[in-house]
Structure 1
């Protein structure tokens, strides 16, 4: 009989300390200072790069850092319910995957941005956004596009293979599972190397290993794929 895998604790929330910077040290340091500062500048920050460079991971890590300080954070992505109003209690606003926003999410993002940076009451809030393209190339309404490019803009670059191995090792250790060098070589040689896909694969492997009560090995990976 298979053991049923529970959702509790299998995917740890990303942290800034656990984000492997590689060639992105300047951007990661900026976000770390932004998240940890008691007096965040209202000047917006925007990070961009191709799929799999860790944009969502970085924003989620920033959100986690803010929430650990007791801050209330507004988070907007394509899964956020439409017409969600700006909340005056928010200390910061995070806008993820802005290149995927349709007209209504663009309207929400613009509303949140303006209310955060130029509030009618209270002090300005900080804004951190991320997308696949630089601000000037985003397929969004002009007033949102120009505002996203107002402040600090950083490009994120894909990690080298050595860094990818380090990320996999670190993420596996956080889940309490062991990945051998052989398994990591197999994964990097046969699956998408973008960071998001690798983290999803690691989640699936972790769950399948728990269900089958086996260690993560190459035969286990092949068995998981056959069962799918």
Structure 2
């Protein structure tokens, strides 16, 4: 277990305010109304559908309300301890848990039952299809379950433009089209690529252009590509 540090909640934190629901409005509405001691919730879907974003948004919201939050994932070292007081327990990417972590996750469910804790978990498939121990699968599937779908292209464009605006970047159609046609439409991956491009542009003191993007991807000096006429 690790307590969610306040640094995680500093900008650019993933929050409900910057989550684009797309087809996931039902899951978003349920999480916004989540209360202590509610039944466990499972959010499932492919990478890039916003599962971890929603967990971090919950962490921010519950922190702001003075609630405790504990986070467990495949990178959280054992042992996993249950917080001393009623808390929000977040289990991210349960399909990645090894045998020891699966045992620990099940133990959290058992120890927290009826004690005022709330569990929200994520996975890449519904509980019935998860390759985890049977008792953990049963607990994950006990409460509400929501399938999350990736954003459609128009929604993904809006999300990337909003992040570029937040960074003070001018994200032109040429660069955006290149990102969406040459790379997997995985918002998490595209956001990471945009962050990398932002850092590359700052290091080279250049505007965000397609030649700059190609220079970064080719790992070549910017000078070998067409210079930016705006600078």
- Smaller-chain TM-score range? 0.7 to 0.9
Q: Is the 8 A contact 2:37 2:114 kept in 1?
A: no
Q: Give the aligned partner of residue 155 of structure 2.
A: 163
Distance of 2:195 and 2:110 partners within structure 1:
37
* Contact 2:105-2:136 at 8 Å conserved across structures: yes
| Aligned match for 2:134, one of 142, 146, 155 | 142
SS of the equivalent of 1:192 reads coil
Shift of 1:11: 6.7
1:65 alignment partner in structure 2: 61
Give CA deviations for 1:132-179 in whole Å, capped at 9, x if unaligned. Answer: 000011111111100111111000112110011011112222333221
Q: Which of structures 1 and 2 has the bigger CA Rg?
A: 2
Residue 14 of structure 2 corresponds to 14
| 1:93 maps onto 2:89 in alignment | yes
Partner of 1:203: 195
Q: Please point out which of 153, 168, 185 is paired with 2:145.
A: 153
* Local SS of the residue matching 1:84: coil
Q: Say if 1:57 and 1:97 are closer, same or farther in 2 by CA, change over 3 A.
A: same
The aligned residue for residue 220 of structure 1 is 212
Return the alpha-carbon distance in structure 1 between the equivalents of residues 166 and 110 of structure 2: 38
**CA distance, structure 2, for counterparts of residue 192 and residue 69 of structure 1:** 37
Tell which has more relative contact order, 1 or 2 (C-alpha 8 A, sep 6+): 1
The reply on whether 1:54 has 2:46 as its aligned counterpart is no
Which stretch of structure 1 is more off in the superposition, 206-215 or 17-26?
206-215
Task: Classify 1:10/1:206 alpha carbon distance in 2 versus 1 (closer, same or farther; 3 Å).
Answer: farther
**For 2:125 and 2:157, how far apart are their aligned partners in 1?**
26
Unaligned ranges ≥5, structure 1: 1-8
Return the alpha-carbon distance in structure 1 between the equivalents of residues 82 and 42 of structure 2. 20
* Count of matched residue positions in the alignment of Structure 1 and Structure 2: 212
- Which residue of structure 2 aligns with residue 4 of structure 1? none
Distance 2:138 2:99 in 1: 16
8 Å contact from structure 2 (residues 121, 140) kept in 1: yes
Check whether the contact 1:45–1:129 (CA below 8 A) recurs between aligned residues: yes
Q: Is the 8 A contact 2:48 2:189 kept in 1?
A: yes
- Check whether the contact 1:73–1:90 (CA below 8 A) recurs between aligned residues: no
CA offset at residue 117 of structure 1? Answer: 2.6
Structure 2 length as normaliser, TM-score?
Answer: 0.86
2:36 corresponds to 1:44: no
- Check whether the contact 2:69–2:89 (CA below 8 A) recurs between aligned residues: yes
Instruction: For residue 226 of structure 1, report the CA deviation from its aligned partner.
Output: 1.6
Q: CA RMSD in A?
A: 1.9
